[in-house]
Amino acid sequence: MEWGYRDSFDHLLVAQALTEGVPLVTADGVLSQVPGLRVVDPLH
């Protein structure tokens, strides 16, 4: 993935969500900027 976020575990979560075609549940706004990733914010 070519994005500036450096947390390797988050890279794993994003890759899994993209591969499976499922949304990622996270309150981390940075991850909502990943192209093609559907994000569900549990706080909203």
pLDDT in tens, 14-25: 999 999 999 999
Q: What is the C-alpha R_g of the chain?
A: 10
Spans of the chain, pLDDT less than 50 = none
Element (H, E) at 25: strand 24-25
pLDDT, residue 1, reads 54
The residue type of 9 is F
Give the other-Cβ count within 10 Å of 25's Cβ.
Answer: 11
Global pTM?
A: 0.81
What's the gap between Cα 31 and its chain centre? 4
pLDDT, residue 42, reads 94
**How many CA atoms does the CB half-sphere of 33 hold within 13 Å?**
7
